[in-house]
Amino acid sequence: MKALLALEDGTVFPARSFTGPGEAGGEGVFNTSMCGYQEVLTDPSYKGQLVTMTYPLIGNYGVNDEDIESNRIQVEAFLVKEYLPFPSNFRSQMTLADYLKNSEILGLEGIDTRALTRHLRNFGAMRVAASTEILEPAALVERARSLPTMLGQGLVDAVTTSQPYRWIEDKPQPFGLDQGNNPWDPTRSSYKVVVFDYGVKYNILRCLESRGCQVLVVPARTSAQAVLDLKPDGLLLSNGPGDPAANPEVVRTVQNLLEALPIFGICLGHQIMGLALGGKTFKLKFGHRGANQPVKYLRNGRVEITSQNHGFAVDLDSLKDPQVELTHINLNDQTLEGMEHKRLPLFSVQYHPEASPGPHDAAYLFDHFLSLMERERKG
């Protein structure tokens, strides 16, 4: 089926839909990973975005019920060079096309993804519109220009859980805090971790559970007092979509918890922590999205290959607190990738240590979080 992709600057790309009729709009971005498209599709950090995969052949291993990062597809549309309709993998349970169709997500192929990626690198991520209905270029360009920009968009409320849930045996288990129930198993001495859900990826929860933690996920707008009433050993600030500065209430909540307990921030959680510590954030030209971003750990000089998905960053020069130590730097553009407080048990990273598939160079960060909780327990 014929389709068209239009960018706000007037650039258009002919395409074909492999999911039937549909329309979509949002910010156009690209991901450089060679595999892991199911993780990409279900990552809540992609809310509001049309994602282009730079690897040319997509769909060859199908999809399954296990490799998901949330309870639904999050991207607005999926853009590829060539879709393979006949997957070959023993774990495959469904074709990618059927997976997208079931969620009414538009999938386009036949796009010159090299040219599109180069254009976004040269001119920056921008608003785009895709359609099988509007095939007149000027009209679809106007549709793209009518969309809101990502700058200033607070999308956390669109992806956060509506109710708390526990993560038990690799599955979410609903839990009603309003009933005054104790979410923690008193027979276990394991660390109790509350996760602020700004768009959390399931693999973050898997990494915590695999280390013996009891995990309770709460909505993004849960109050600081409600968290303290739970008496957790630690707090994790999750990844998520949109402009971090568009969530002032979330930032104030974290500010009220900075001196209360160990905190680990990932991606948007890192940016929220940066804002809570008095810093500022800014929008990157085209963001970091892929599984091959080099990051230098400043304490030992080691270079980690990391998985990333973000379009904003914490401004290095805005962190004036001398107690905040910069720990990680992106070697491609020298942006901030990690920080830690010298006095308080707080640290965060811009990249994704839980990535799967992806490099495992940063898995030690979860162990570091456990060590901070252990230190606080011992006083």
Q: Which tens digit of pLDDT belongs to each residue from 234-288? A: 999 999 999 999 999 999 999 999 999 999 999 999 999 999 999 999 999 999 9
What's the residue count for the chain? Answer: 379
Alpha-carbon span 255 to 18, nearest angstrom: 46
Does residue 72 form part of some domain?
yes
Q: What values do phi and psi take at 257, rounded to 5?
A: -115, -5
Q: Which of 145, 165, 188 is a domain's end point?
A: 145
End-to-end Cα separation, the chain, in angstroms: 64
Q: How many structural domains is the chain composed of?
A: 2
Quick check: bond before 241 cis, omega within 30?
Answer: no
Does residue 150 form part of some domain?
no
**In the prediction, which pLDDT does 360 show?**
86
Together in a domain, 114 and 167: no
Alpha-carbon span 350 to 356, nearest angstrom: 16
**In the prediction, which pLDDT does 128 show?**
98
**In the prediction, which pLDDT does 189 show?**
84
Alpha-carbon span 129 to 77, nearest angstrom: 9
Q: Which of 145, 167, 200 is a domain's end point?
A: 145
Q: Is 71 exposed, middle or buried (0-12, 13-18, 19+ CB in 10 A)?
A: exposed
Together in a domain, 62 and 193: no
Minimum mean pLDDT among 9-13, 189-193, 308-312, 357-361: which range?
Answer: 357-361
* Over residues 37-46, mean pLDDT: 97
**In the prediction, which pLDDT does 176 show?**
78
From 269, 271, 253, 263, select the one nearest 197 (Cα to Cα).
269
| Cβ contact 77:108 at 8 Å | yes
Question: pLDDT-based confidence at 179, cuts 50/70/90?
Answer: low
Does residue 257 form part of some domain?
yes
Does residue 363 form part of some domain?
yes
Does residue 151 form part of some domain?
no
Pairing of strands 165-168, 214-219: antiparallel
Cα angle at 376 between 196 and 167, to 5 degrees?
35
Does residue 123 form part of some domain?
yes
Q: What values do phi and psi take at 27, rounded to 5?
A: -85, 130
**In the prediction, which pLDDT does 53 show?**
98
Together in a domain, 243 and 191: yes
Together in a domain, 160 and 42: no
Together in a domain, 171 and 271: yes
Does residue 218 form part of some domain?
yes
> The CATH number of the domain where 136 resides is what?
3.50.30.20
Averaged confidence pLDDT in the chain: 96
The model's pLDDT over 58-111, given as tens digits with 9 standing for 90+, comes to: 999 999 999 999 999 999 999 999 999 999 999 999 999 999 999 999 999 999
Together in a domain, 90 and 231: no
The model's pLDDT over 148-160, given as tens digits with 9 standing for 90+, comes to: 999 999 999 999 9
* Over residues 322-329, mean pLDDT: 96
Q: Is the pLDDT of residue 130 over 70?
A: yes
> The CATH number of the domain where 346 resides is what?
3.40.50.880
Range of the domain at 268: 156-378
Question: pLDDT-based confidence at 359, cuts 50/70/90?
Answer: confident
The model's pLDDT over 202-238, given as tens digits with 9 standing for 90+, comes to: 999 999 999 999 999 999 999 999 999 999 999 999 9
Give the orientation angle of helix 268-276 with respect to helix 248-255, to 10 degrees.
Answer: 70
**In the prediction, which pLDDT does 379 show?**
75
| Cβ contact 106:22 at 8 Å | yes
The residues annotated with a catalytic role in the active site are 267, 352, 354
Together in a domain, 165 and 111: no
What is the percent of the chain where pLDDT is above 90? Answer: 93
Q: Is the pLDDT of residue 378 over 90?
A: no
Question: pLDDT-based confidence at 114, cuts 50/70/90?
Answer: very high
Alpha-carbon span 350 to 313, nearest angstrom: 8
Q: Is the pLDDT of residue 178 over 70?
A: no
| Cβ contact 284:256 at 8 Å | no
Together in a domain, 208 and 345: yes
- DSSP H helices, 3-51, are 37-42
From 154, 140, 119, 145, select the one nearest 286 (Cα to Cα).
119
| Cβ contact 346:340 at 8 Å | yes
From 211, 210, 218, 252, select the one nearest 235 (Cα to Cα).
218
Together in a domain, 320 and 226: yes
Beta-carbon neighbour count of residue 223 at 10 Å?
A: 13
Together in a domain, 214 and 91: no
Q: Which of 83, 117, 145 is a domain's end point?
A: 145
Alpha-carbon span 354 to 195, nearest angstrom: 14
Does residue 69 form part of some domain?
yes
The model's pLDDT over 291-313, given as tens digits with 9 standing for 90+, comes to: 999 999 999 999 999 999 999 99
Q: Is the pLDDT of residue 180 over 70?
A: no
Together in a domain, 235 and 364: yes
Together in a domain, 160 and 141: no
